[in-house]
């Protein structure tokens, strides 16, 4: 049997947990009976809750999964964590074949789940839609293999790369359909990061459970909309912080380099704080300074041209004399949100 379509279903199921499973991966699961009829599905809905395999198998009460096949985008776990090992449950329920998209990069698992299944006489098929499964859990993979926070960036610009006029006018560059997609993107990440300049210029709400503000001189007004909801982390370089601040605001001092907060320190600190992924939404200066750290960029482009040199650019942090000094990226996909498009791209290894 060809399992690609069923693995695609696992990936779509897994995406239902976006924004809720961190620091765990996104996992979906499909169960077939011995005649290869689909009898159950499951996904990891929230950190601490049942893993996808357990979710799918526990929906079955009459043993119809016995002798059947389980398809899952990530190797079943083999250890006790928030829940018991999924590999043990698969063995207990009499599954005869397990189809896996990718091996777990968590060193606690890393092939041990597969070994446990094979030792129990279960046939294991690996690497079905492996690339798609790797991309689904790109955040988890970076967390586990590099012990760093995954850094994504979202920007919206005109065809000539402008995000606002010289006096700050920017609403709205993109369409309502594109802005709705931004809400979907935000949900995927543990936190949103912006700069004091953006807070002062736009007074954004940025509804999200965790928001990070880079405010070196503590210039932002704590009555700004962004401070009124969620957990707020403010990185700064001042000796004193405002007194009597709300409980949801945490101030963290950071070193300064070239009159800017040190991003490498900040991103390392985020990982220490168990923030596994962050989406930068800011102006051209922070966007430009972040380019050497980003893992992924979402770039919305509206079919507008300002033809105005004084307008603000979406990436603006340095001056180069050689075009070969540019940062290089690989475009992964192009999506349409009429009349706008979304380019999703990744940095090349030579950056």
Q: Are 314 and 161 in contact (CB under 8 A)?
A: yes
Give yes or no: 176 in active site.
Answer: no
CA angle 120, 134, 326 (to 5 degrees): 160
Residue of 329, 340, 336 lying closest to 296 (CA atoms)? 329
Q: Where are the beta strands (DSSP E) in the chain?
A: 28-32, 38-43, 69-74, 97-102, 123-125, 150-158, 162-164, 191-195, 210-214, 231-236, 249-253, 256-257, 260-261, 277-280, 296-302, 312-313, 329-337, 340-347
- Per the residue annotation, which of 4, 12, 36, 53 is the catalytic one? 53
Give the Cα separation of 265 and 59 in Å (integer).
46
CA gap 261, 220 in Å, rounded: 15
State the catalytic residues: 53
């Amino acid at each position: 049997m060809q399992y690609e379509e069923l693995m695609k279903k696992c990936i779509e199921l897994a995406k239902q947990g976006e924004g809720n499973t961190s620091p765990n991966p996104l996992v979906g699961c499909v169960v077939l009976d011995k005649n290869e009829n689909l009898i159950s599905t499951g996904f990891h809905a929230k950190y601490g809750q049942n893993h996808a395999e357990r979710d799918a198998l526990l929906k079955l009460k009459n043993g119809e999964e016995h002798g059947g096949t389980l398809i899952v985008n990530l190797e079943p776990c083999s250890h006790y964590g928030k829940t018991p090992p999924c590999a043990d449950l698969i063995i207990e329920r009499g599954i005869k074949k397990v189809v896996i998209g990718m091996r777990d990069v968590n060193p606690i698992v890393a092939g041990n789940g597969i070994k446990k299944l094979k030792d129990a006489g279960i046939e294991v098929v690996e690497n079905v839609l492996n690339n798609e499964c790797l991309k689904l859990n790109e955040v988890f993979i970076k967390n586990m293999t590099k012990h760093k926070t995954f850094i994504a960036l979202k920007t919206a610009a005109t065809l000539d790369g402008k995000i606002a006029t010289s006096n700050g006018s920017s609403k709205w560059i993109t369409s309502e359909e594109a802005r709705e997609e931004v809400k979907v993107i935000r949900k995927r990440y543990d936190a949103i990061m912006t700069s004091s300049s953006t807070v002062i210029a736009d007074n954004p709400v940025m509804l999200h459970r965790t928001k990070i503000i880079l405010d070196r001189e503590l210039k932002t007004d704590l009555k700004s909309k962004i401070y009124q909801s969620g957990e707020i982390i403010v990185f700064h370089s001042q000796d004193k912080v405002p007194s009597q601040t709300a409980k949801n605001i945490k101030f963290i001092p950071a070193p300064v380099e070239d009159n800017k907060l040190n991003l490498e320190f900040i991103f390392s600190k985020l990982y220490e704080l168990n923030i596994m992924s962050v989406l930068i939404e800011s102006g051209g200066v922070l966007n430009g300074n972040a380019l050497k750290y980003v893992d992924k960029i979402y770039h919305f482009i509206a079919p507008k041209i300002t033809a105005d040199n004084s307008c603000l650019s979406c990436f603006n942090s340095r001056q180069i004399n050689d075009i070969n000094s540019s940062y290089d990226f690989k475009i992964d996909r192009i999506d349409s949100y009429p009349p706008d498009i979304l380019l999703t791209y990744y940095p090349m290894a030579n950056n």
